[in-house]
A and B are shown apart, each in its own frame.
Chain A
Amino acid sequence: MQILVVDDETDVRDLFQQRFRREIRSGQWTFSFAFSGEEALEFLRAHHSEVLIILSDINMPGMSGLDLLGHVKEEFEMPPTTMMMITAYGDDESHQKALALGAHDFLTKPVDFAVLKDKLAHLLPS
């Protein structure tokens, strides 16, 4: 199962790879990484059918996470089943906006990885 993580901080990759090292090693979950909204769209165009979950930061320079959400909805007839937004600002406005754009979940930084793991496990059949 493919999870695409979108964040402009590159160290997010190392963090996820370590946090989910057991799941990755067992082949349970597969993670891909994109460091901007534009990069994420490109990846989706190439690997459209493989990605099931998108985990995206909202605050990125250029195309924001919400923009990405809109583009994905527009561009792909069969969008990934789940889109989760992560933001440093836990304000209601962004939350509502994300949900309105079709996001399935909303997380606030700092990300609690135990919660995230639960959500992913819940979302995806192992």
Chain B
Amino acid sequence: MLTFILLKRSGLLVVLLALLFLRVGPVRAQTTPSRRYWEANPDSLRQVLNNQHADTARLRTLLHLTDLGGIGFYSAADQEASFRELVQLTRRLRRPEAGAFRLWYAASQLDKTGKEPARALDSTRAAVEAFDRVGWPALPLPSVIRLLRQQKGPAAQLAYLRAKLAQYQARGAQVNIAQCHFAMGAPCVIQGDYNQGISHYLRSADLARAYNRYSQENQLKVVGYTYADWGNPTKALYYLRQSLAVHAALPRRNGYDWYAYTYRGMTLAYRQLHNYPAALRYATLALAGIPTDTTRRYAADVPRVQAYGLTLKSAVLLDMGREAEADPPLVRARQLADSLGLKLHNQGGGYLDLEATWARYYAARHEPARAEQAWLIALQQARQIKSVPLRLAYLRALANFYAQQGQTELAGRYARAGLVLADSLRAVQGAFQVAGYEAERAEQAQQARIQGLRLAQVQAAARARRQRLLLFSTLAVLALLAGLGFVLWRGNRRQRQANTALNRLNEAVTQQKQELQTQRDQLNTSLTELRATQAQLIQREKMASLGELTAGIAHEIQNPLNFVNNFAEVSTELMAELREAQAAGDAEEVTALAGDVTQNLGKITEHGRRAAAIVRGMLEHSRTSTGERAPTDLNQLCDEYLRLAYQGLRAKDKSFNAALETEFAADLPLVSAVGPDVGRVLLNLFSNAFYAVHKRQQTGEASYQPIVGVSTHVANNHVHLQVRDNGGGISPEIQQKIFQPFFTTKPTGEGTGLGLSLSHDIIAQGHGGSLAVESREGEGTEFTITLPR
């Protein structure tokens, strides 16, 4: 916070002082003023006011002084008088913002009494709204923020500021946006959310760069100080030095260019870097830079800044083990703090770590009882201001203190409390990330609403146009009708004819209506029929794939059946021979023949099982899927259906031949899948592959070798099945359509166009997997099924 803010609780002074990081632009709202406007010397400006008499000139200067944060005024009384004059001048000159100023003044008077803080807050808020309404920078906003801080928790402050921010963002009011961001920093930080807090400060600094370099300098030093507070000394020093550099490039303002706050931030940073000599140097500088002129308005701020500086210097001396030297500054700091009623946290200047420093002093002086008491007071204060980071720091300090005193039980209790708080801090930070996001959303919603309003406006205009058009057309029609009536009246004889014509027209209309009704009924019927046809087609696709399968199965089954028959026959012969050998007493031959027969019986069983397995597979395929998943060996499934599809095509074209390449991952796990469904997909893919290579082969391409391959592998917790062919490939345009129902490239009657569509559904919806295609024309096609393990 700015060093000058809130030295006394006298309301108006605070209100006007708060303007330091506020106002832009002269009387015109939200314009980007020239650099010069901000560089005006406050003292000279105040001098100018003394010699001005014209109302408009005085108003301009008063606003200018207000824009400069009120630092040019001689005293609080001078400032209050100026405020009153501002209200009078705006009213007398009939300025549109006169009402807003009047409301603001009334609110500040209420605020000053301090008796009804809740009403003061409401009034000041109303004043902000009044400034918003006339499109002015919201001058009373800092007062609202201060009152909120005094009366409500950080969450309520942030809620208010977020709403305002969204509003100003929608309006593009850069100064107010910067103001909101700056004000949002403190409640974030006090909740321990340094990340968001610093982000807000930085945004505000970036915005201020465009309109007020003094403001930018101020906000940069707050960024630096907060970084030091957070425990990032490198960043802290970076921003504090940047702040000093910005300030060095600006014109001097006698009496206002002191760096106590900046130097205190640097002291904090160097303490964290354990560079105590540097820390002590800056602590001393922070005290040395304080102006001694007690006649100026800022003089009121001096004791507070001194209390901060002295406390910090003592802390550094304690760091260095020079507790004897820490005694005098600490005593002085306490006197100042008591007389000013300073608390642990005061607006502007950061934390006044007085009690904790005393505690460390007493501990160093081996006065544990007083040290304990000081630590407990510090903790109590931190709790009062709801500062999470300070509570955490003091809880830890107390835990350490008790541990050193050998009071392990108490040490443990405070350590545990610290842990709980640290956890909640993390939770709070999580909540704030969400909150930040919500602010963005609020803005988006606002934008959308504006868009909606614009649209409504355009629509309203269009409607008005249409209505006008309608009015004119109606008038024209009325005129026509009048003419027509006249003609009708004149041509009375033609009345009957007209009547007949009208009747005819009526009939025609009735007939047309009936026709329309019939057509609609027909369409409805067609739609019903179409739905039925669709269902039939899906069934037909199943049957078509079954047909393909049947041809393959017939062949696949023939081989094992041949073996069964042959081995059975040959075994009968062998048995006859065996009996002969037995009769001849050829024991050796008997044993050999018996062995052969046994072997044959084994073969019969084996081929019988093979045939049975194929039949079972076919039954499974044709049966309506139960949809039940079972652990499935996809390698086996691929192999089975590859052969079936191959034989299926060969059943149609005997001369067809293709190389089958299989590459099965040995470590493929069983996958929970509906076997028949996946089988149907595989069959479809294989059939398509064979169809593709077959078609390419038929083009008579020299040295073309049809290849259809299937491979399986596991990757990323998924099982991948790849079916590839070196057929003609699929063009990109067709690739986009192949998963659409009823899309087929096959001649009419050959394909239902549902194969890939159903396959896609089975894999994607039935198994939560994916079916993808990759193809190049003239090279081939690869389908990849991906299934979760």
Listed in ascending order, the chain A residues whose CB lies under 8 Å from chain B are: 9, 11, 14-15, 18-19, 59, 61-62, 64, 66-67, 87-89, 91, 93-94, 97, 109-111, 113
Contact A93 B655 (CB under 8 A): yes
Question: Which A residues touch B654, using CB under 8 A?
Answer: 87, 89, 91, 93-94
Contact A109 B558 (CB under 8 A): yes
Question: Which A residues touch B569, using CB under 8 A?
Answer: 113
Contact A15 B657 (CB under 8 A): no
Q: Which residue of B lies closest to A9 (CB)?
A: B559
Contact A15 B559 (CB under 8 A): no
The residue from B558, B655, B660 contacting A88, defined by CB atoms under 8 A apart:
B558
- Of the stretches B10-18, B218-226, B436-444, B599-607, the one at the interface is B599-607
**B555 interface residue per 8 A CB criterion:** yes
Most chain B CB neighbours (cut-off 10 Å) among A18, A94, A109: A18
CA distance A97 to B563 in the complex (A): 27
The residue from A11, A59, A97 contacting B650, defined by CB atoms under 8 A apart:
A59
Q: How many residues of B contact A (CB 8 A)?
A: 25
CA distance A11 to B729 in the complex (A): 39
Contact A11 B563 (CB under 8 A): yes
Question: Which A residues touch B559, using CB under 8 A?
Answer: 9, 88, 109
Given contacts A11-B563, A15-B567, A91-B654, 7 further A-B pairs with CB under 8 A are A14-B567, A14-B603, A18-B574, A59-B650, A109-B559, A109-B562, A113-B569
Q: Which residue of B lies closest to A91 (CB)?
A: B654
The residue from A14, A66, A91 contacting B599, defined by CB atoms under 8 A apart:
A14
What are 16 A-to-B residue pairs whose CB atoms are below 8 Å? A9-B563, A11-B603, A11-B607, A14-B567, A15-B563, A18-B570, A18-B574, A18-B596, A61-B646, A62-B660, A64-B657, A88-B555, A89-B651, A93-B655, A97-B655, A109-B558
Interface of B is mostly: helix
**B519 interface residue per 8 A CB criterion:** no
Contact A19 B603 (CB under 8 A): no
CA distance A36 to B659 in the complex (A): 12
CA distance A67 to B658 in the complex (A): 12
CA distance A11 to B610 in the complex (A): 13
Q: How far is the CB of B659 from chain A (nearest CB, A)?
A: 6
CA distance A67 to B651 in the complex (A): 18
Question: Which B residues touch A111, using CB under 8 A?
Answer: 562, 566
CA distance A11 to B558 in the complex (A): 14
Contact B655 A94 (CB under 8 A): yes
- Closest 3 interchain pairs by CB? A110-B562, A64-B657, A18-B570
> Which residues 595-628 of B sit at the A interface, judged by CB distance below 8 A?
596, 599-600, 603, 607
The residue from B555, B565, B607, B659 contacting A61, defined by CB atoms under 8 A apart:
B659
Question: Which A residues touch B566, using CB under 8 A?
Answer: 15, 19, 110-111, 113
Most chain A CB neighbours (cut-off 10 Å) among B555, B558, B570, B574: B570
Q: How far is the CB of B597 from chain A (nearest CB, A)?
A: 10
Q: Which residue of B lies closest to A19 (CB)?
A: B570
Q: Which residue of A lies closest to B565 (CB)?
A: A110
Question: Which B residues touch A9, using CB under 8 A?
Answer: 559, 563
Contact A18 B600 (CB under 8 A): yes
Question: Which B residues touch A67, using CB under 8 A?
Answer: 657
> Which residues 363-381 of B sit at the A interface, judged by CB distance below 8 A?
none
Q: How far is the CB of A110 from chain B (nearest CB, A)?
A: 4
Q: Which residue of A lies closest to B554 (CB)?
A: A88
Question: Which A residues touch B562, using CB under 8 A?
Answer: 109-111
CA distance A9 to B650 in the complex (A): 18
Q: Which residue of A lies closest to B705 (CB)?
A: A62
Question: Which B residues touch A97, using CB under 8 A?
Answer: 655
Q: How far is the CB of A101 from chain B (nearest CB, A)?
A: 11
Q: Which residue of B lies closest to A89 (CB)?
A: B654
Question: Which A residues touch B659, using CB under 8 A?
Answer: 61-62
Q: Which residue of B lies closest to A15 (CB)?
A: B566
CA distance A97 to B656 in the complex (A): 12
CA distance A9 to B607 in the complex (A): 11
CA distance A4 to B719 in the complex (A): 43
CA distance A109 to B651 in the complex (A): 14
Question: Which B residues touch A110, using CB under 8 A?
Answer: 558, 561-562, 565-566
Question: Which B residues touch A61, using CB under 8 A?
Answer: 646, 659-660
Most chain A CB neighbours (cut-off 10 Å) among B559, B600, B607: B559
Q: Which residue of A lies closest to B558 (CB)?
A: A88
Question: Which B residues touch A14, using CB under 8 A?
Answer: 567, 599-600, 603
CA distance A88 to B596 in the complex (A): 27
CA distance A109 to B563 in the complex (A): 11
Question: Which B residues touch A91, using CB under 8 A?
Answer: 654
> Which residues 625-684 of B sit at the A interface, judged by CB distance below 8 A?
646, 650-651, 654-655, 657, 659-660
Most chain A CB neighbours (cut-off 10 Å) among B555, B561, B654: B654
Q: How far is the CB of A112 from chain B (nearest CB, A)?
A: 10
Q: Which residue of B lies closest to A8 (CB)?
A: B559
CA distance A14 to B563 in the complex (A): 10
Question: Which A residues touch B650, using CB under 8 A?
Answer: 59, 89
CA distance A111 to B569 in the complex (A): 12
Question: Which A residues touch B561, using CB under 8 A?
Answer: 110
Question: Which A residues touch B651, using CB under 8 A?
Answer: 89
CA distance A113 to B562 in the complex (A): 12
Q: Which residue of B lies closest to A22 (CB)?
A: B577
CA distance A113 to B570 in the complex (A): 10
Q: How far is the CB of A103 from chain B (nearest CB, A)?
A: 14
CA distance A18 to B10 in the complex (A): 119
Q: How far is the CB of B725 from chain A (nearest CB, A)?
A: 15
Q: How far is the CB of A61 from chain B (nearest CB, A)?
A: 5
Q: How far is the CB of B607 from chain A (nearest CB, A)?
A: 7
Q: How far is the CB of A124 from chain B (nearest CB, A)?
A: 22
CA distance A91 to B660 in the complex (A): 24
Q: How far is the CB of A41 from chain B (nearest CB, A)?
A: 16
> Which residues 513-563 of B sit at the A interface, judged by CB distance below 8 A?
555, 558-559, 561-563
> Which residues 145-175 of B sit at the A interface, judged by CB distance below 8 A?
none
Convert B698-723 into 0s and 1s, putting 1 for each residue whose CB lies closer than 8 angstroms to a CB of A: 00000000000000000000000000
Q: Which residue of B lies closest to A58 (CB)?
A: B654
CA distance A94 to B561 in the complex (A): 22
CA distance A17 to B310 in the complex (A): 112
Q: Which residue of A lies closest to B567 (CB)?
A: A15
Most chain B CB neighbours (cut-off 10 Å) among A11, A62, A67, A89: A11
Question: Which A residues touch B646, using CB under 8 A?
Answer: 61
